[in-house]
Structure 1
Amino acid sequence: MKRQSLDVFLHGRHIGVLSGTSLRLSFQYDAEIVAEYGVSSILLSLALPVARRKIADTAVLNYFDGLLPEGQVRSHLASQNGLATPDAIGLLRVLGGDCAGAVQVLPEGMSPDGRGKAIPMTDEEVAKVVEALPTWDLPDDFAITASLGGIQSKVLLNRSGDRWMWPGRGAVSTHIIKPEPLDSPIPHLLPAEDWALKVAAAAGLRAAEARLETFGARQAIVVTRYDRTAEGGRLHQEDFTQALGLGSEAKYEGTTAPPSRLTRLVSTAAPHTRDDDGFRRDLLRAVTFNLVIGNGDAHSKNYSLLIRDGGEVLLAPLYDAAPTLLLYAPSKNAGHAIGGQAGLNHLTLEHVIKEAAAWGLDPDDARATAAAVLEAVAGAATATPAQDVISFLNQLVPARAEDLLNGRTARRALDNQASART
C-alpha cells in the first residue's frame, strides 16, 4: 500500500503530520507545538496528548477516521473518488478541508485559509443537492471537501446573510442540512428531533439550534453548527469515541460491566475541566434528558466535548437527540451502560444516580440534579408546540418524567395509544 502524508492544522495553525497507509496511521506533533504547549498537554484530542515521539497506536486511526462519515455515505464518497471505503487517509485528502471542530487535514502545501472560497448557491441548486442525498447531484465546480461523522446523509453548507454558500476547500461550513432518511424505520424522525432540541433549550439545557425547512420535495432539519462562531470561526471538539480512542463502529457500548464507558470518559476528561463536579452535573443532565425523551441513539458519537486552546474541556451542547423509542419500539438501546443497565425500558432514576456516583458525584447532588432536569423537561415538553403527528409527545414525555421521579421505569406509550406500557 502507498504511504501518504497529510498536514494537520488546528485553528489554522500547523500542528503536525498524519502519515501512513489506509489502515495504519501515525501522527507526529510539530516540535514548536511540543515546546509551546508541553508534553501531555491536551490540544487535538484527549486520546492524543502532545508528545515528542511519533504516535502510532490505534487511537490515531480512530481519531482521524472518526472525522469521516459512516455507512452508505462513506461508501458513496469513496466510490466517487476511486478509493477503498476503509481508506481514511485517502478520504481525508479529499474531505479534510472542513471537519468537525477546528481541525483541518490537507495535502502538503495546501493553505488552511478558506476565506473567500465559499461559492454562492441558488435556491434551486440547494434543493437539488438535498433532494439527491444520500448521493450527490452537484454542479461541476462544487467539489465535496467537507466531512462530518455519522451515518445519516447530510450536506454541509455556509450561511451568509440570507443565502446559502457551498464551502470550497478549506471554507467554513456553518450549518448541517439533514433530509428525512429514505430508508429509516423510524417515522417522523426530523420533526421529533427538532421538537426535542427545542424542549432541551426550553428546559435550560445547552442544545444545538435547529429548524425544519423544505427543500424541493424533501423536508429537512437545518442545524446550526455549535462548533462554529457567529463570525465564521471554528471551535474545537471531539466526540466521546475519539476522546476514548475508540473506533466509530464501537459507538454503542457493548457491555454493562463496570467501569462504564461514561465513567472512563469522566475519569479522562474531568482533570482538564475548570470545575470537575460541574462537568459531571452537565453530563448527568444530558444523560437524564436522553433517558426521559426515550433517545435510543444516544451513543458515543452523539456526545461530544469542546476543547479550548488552553486544554480546558467542556461538554458540548446536545445534538442528534430524538425520542426514537417513542416512535419505534425496537429503538431501546440507551447507547451507554447507566448504572449497570443499557435498556431504555429498564432504566430508573436509581440507575442514573448510581451511574453519577460512579463518576464521583455525591449521590444527593446527583439525585437533585437529575430530578431538576426531569421537572424542567416535563414543563418544557408540555409547553413546546409539536406537529400533529407527534403531538402525543406533549403528554408522553411529562408522563415519563413523572414515572422516573416516582421510582418507576418510564412508560413507552400513553394509555390511549396502541402500544402497551412497558
Structure 2
Amino acid sequence: MQRLDVFLDGQAAPVGTLSRADDGAVSFRYLRQDLPHPLSLSLPIRDAPFGDVPTRGFFDNLLFENAMRDQVMQKHGIAQTDIVGLLAHLGRDCPGAISVVPEGEGPGKRPGNLETDYTALSAEDLETIMRALRDHRRLPETSDDPSPLAGVQGKLAVTVLPGGQVALPRAGSGAPTTHILKVPRRRDLRLVAQEHALMTIAASLLAHPVAQTKEVGQGDLRGLLVTRFDRSVRGAKVHRIHQEDFCQALSLGPHLKYQRNGTGARQFSARAAGHLLEHCSAPAQARSAFLEGTVVNLLLGNTDNHAKNHSLLYAYDPTGRPQLAPLYDIVPTLIDDQVTHQLSFDIGAAQMADTITARDLERFAQDLGYRSLTAPMRRRLVALTQAVVDRIPEMRGPSHKRLGDGFAEQASALAAALALDLEIPPRDLVVLNRP
C-alpha cells in the first residue's frame, strides 16, 4: 500500500489521501468535510472513499505525457499505469491548486510573494530558455522545469513581475506562476501570431472572458505569453485558484478527451458538457458561453476544441459551485494538413463542420440544456458568423492569409446551417482531413 497526501493551496493540513493497494487499484478519500469546494465535480465531498475508476479519472489527468514523466518512469522503474507512484515524484506542482506528495512531507504549493519568492531572468537567460524550448521542447540541461506543462509546443510556466520582467519561482518556495510561455518549433513559428490573432478576435466577439495573450521575442525566436486565469494577484500576493478540466469533471481519462475515443456514458459530448454546465454557479450564463464559444472556435478554424481545453474554476462562490473558466487554446487546426479535422465532439449528428445542418444546431442547443434554439439565440449566431466574415479581408500576409481561408471555409458551412445569405470573400480552398 502506498499513500500520498493531497493538499489544497493555502491549506496547512491535507484535504485527502490518494492510495494504491497492493493489487494496483487506486482510491481517494477526503480527510475533511469543511472544504470550500470539492476537488472535482466527479469527487464530491463525502465520508466514503472513491474507487479506482473515478479516482483515476481525476488524478490521471494531472500527469502529462512529457520528458519528465518518462525520466521518472525509467529512473524509478514505475509503470505508466501507476499514477500514485508517478505523482509521488511529479505531484508537487500539478495542475490546479492541489499538490500530491508523500505522506508527512507537507504541501508542495504555497501562496507566493512577488517581492521575495521569485528570481528575475535576464534577457540572456530568457533567450537561452526560449531557444531550448524551441529546439528541444524542454529547458536547458542545467535547469529543472519548475512546472511541466502538456502540449505540442514547448511550454514553461513563468511569473511576470510588476516591472514586466519574466521570473521563475525560487527553488523550494512552492510559489505559483502567473503566465505560460509557449514557444513553437522554428518551422511552426507562425503559430505565435496566429494563436494571438484568434484569441484577440475571440475576446472581441464574446461576452465570456478569453485568456489574454501577448507576443514576445523577435526574428526566429518568438513565443506567446498567456496570462493564467487560475491565479489571483493582489498587491504582492499571488494565490492559486483551483480548476479542473472537463475530463476530470467527467471522470474521463485523458485519452477520452475526444468524443470519438469514448463510448456510451464514457465519452465527452455536448450532452456531457451540458451536465457540467448545469452544476456551475450561473448555469444559464455558462450554457450561453459554451454555445457561443463553440461556434466561435469553429468559425476561427479550431476543430481541436476537446475536453481538456475546457475548464471549471472554483472561485468566488460561497456554495463551492464552479464557474466556466475563460476560453483558451484557440488554435487554427483547420489549416494544419497533418491532423484530422473531425470535430472534438459532435454538433448534433455532425462530425465535421461542413456537414452541420439547422437540425444539428437545434440538437446541439438541446444537448446543452436548452429547450430549443430560440430566435434570439439564432440571431446571435448569425451576428458571430457575420463578424468573423467581416475579418476575412484583414487576414493577409504570411502568417494570417491562411487564417482567412479557414474563416471562409467555416463561415460558409455555418451560414448554410443558419440559412444565412452571406457574401463571403473568395479565398483558396482548405483541404479537409476527414476521419
Aligned counterpart, 2:26: 25
- What are the equivalent positions in structure 2 for 1:110-189 lying under 5 Å apart? 110-111=106-107, 112-113=109-110, 115=112, 116-133=116-133, 134-139=137-142, 142-161=143-162, 162-167=164-169, 168-169=171-172, 170-181=174-185, 188-189=190-191
- What are the equivalent positions in structure 2 for 1:10-409 lying under 5 Å apart? 10-13=8-11, 14-20=14-20, 24-30=25-31, 33-34=32-33, 36=34, 43-70=38-65, 74-76=69-71, 78-79=73-74, 83-107=78-102, 108-111=104-107, 112-113=109-110, 115=112, 116-133=116-133, 134-139=137-142, 142-161=143-162, 162-167=164-169, 168-169=171-172, 170-181=174-185, 188-204=190-206, 205-214=208-217, 218-231=221-234, 232-254=238-260, 261-270=269-278, 272-308=279-315, 310-328=319-337, 330-348=339-357, 350-361=359-370, 362-364=372-374, 366-379=377-390, 381-382=391-392, 388-394=398-404, 396-397=406-407, 400-401=410-411, 403-407=413-417
SS in 1 for 2:62: coil
Query: Alpha-carbon deviations, 1:47-105, whole Å to 9, x = none?
Result: 11111012123221221121222255643564577755444333333333333222222
SS in 1 for 2:194: helix
Query: Alpha-carbon deviations, 1:295-333, whole Å to 9, x = none?
Result: 121111111111236322221111111121134374312
Q: Which moved more, 1:397-406 or 1:346-355?
A: 397-406
Q: How far off is 1:385 after superposition?
A: 6.9
Q: 1:9 aligns with which of 4, 7, 10?
A: 7
Q: How far off is 1:277 after superposition?
A: 2.4
In 1, the alpha carbon distance for the partners of 2:56 and 2:356 equals 34
Q: Is the 8 A contact 1:98 1:173 kept in 2?
A: no
SS in 2 for 1:332: coil
In 2, the alpha carbon distance for the partners of 1:163 and 1:82 equals 40
C-alpha spacing 1:352/1:77, structure 2 compared with 1 (3 Å) = farther
TM-score by length of 2: 0.81
Q: How far off is 1:12 after superposition?
A: 1.8
Q: Is the 8 A contact 1:98 1:171 kept in 2?
A: no
C-alpha spacing 1:173/1:79, structure 2 compared with 1 (3 Å) = farther
In 2, the alpha carbon distance for the partners of 1:388 and 1:183 equals 13
Letter in 1 for 2:106: M
In 1, the alpha carbon distance for the partners of 2:410 and 2:338 equals 15
Stretches of structure 2 that go unaligned for 5 or more consecutive residues are none
Q: How far off is 1:200 after superposition?
A: 0.4
In 2, the alpha carbon distance for the partners of 1:359 and 1:117 equals 43
C-alpha spacing 1:143/1:90, structure 2 compared with 1 (3 Å) = farther
In 2, the alpha carbon distance for the partners of 1:92 and 1:372 equals 46
C-alpha spacing 1:98/1:372, structure 2 compared with 1 (3 Å) = farther
Letter in 2 for 1:292: L
Q: Is the 8 A contact 2:405 2:428 kept in 1?
A: no
Q: How far off is 1:218 after superposition?
A: 2.8
Q: Which moved more, 1:88-97 or 1:255-264?
A: 255-264
C-alpha spacing 1:348/1:210, structure 2 compared with 1 (3 Å) = farther
Q: Is the 8 A contact 2:311 2:324 kept in 1?
A: yes
SS in 2 for 1:273: coil
Q: How far off is 1:152 after superposition?
A: 4.0
Letter in 1 for 2:248: Q
Query: Alpha-carbon deviations, 1:204-250, whole Å to 9, x = none?
Result: 34211112222795322111111112332112211111111001111
C-alpha spacing 1:385/1:294, structure 2 compared with 1 (3 Å) = closer
Q: Is the 8 A contact 2:277 2:287 kept in 1?
A: no
TM-score by length of 1: 0.83
Letter in 2 for 1:370: L
**Equivalences, count:** 407
Letter in 2 for 1:321: I
C-alpha spacing 1:406/1:324, structure 2 compared with 1 (3 Å) = same
Letter in 1 for 2:303: G
Letter in 1 for 2:292: R
Q: How far off is 1:409 after superposition?
A: 11
Letter in 1 for 2:382: A
The alignment-based identity, stated in percent, is: 28
C-alpha spacing 1:256/1:246, structure 2 compared with 1 (3 Å) = closer
Q: Which moved more, 1:348-357 or 1:316-325?
A: 348-357
C-alpha spacing 1:19/1:276, structure 2 compared with 1 (3 Å) = same
Over aligned residue pairs, what C-alpha RMSD do you find? 3.4
C-alpha spacing 1:421/1:264, structure 2 compared with 1 (3 Å) = closer
Stretches of structure 1 that go unaligned for 5 or more consecutive residues are none
SS in 2 for 1:62: helix
Q: Is the 8 A contact 1:334 1:344 kept in 2?
A: yes
Q: Which moved more, 1:324-333 or 1:188-197?
A: 324-333
Q: How far off is 1:16 after superposition?
A: 1.1
C-alpha spacing 1:254/1:403, structure 2 compared with 1 (3 Å) = closer
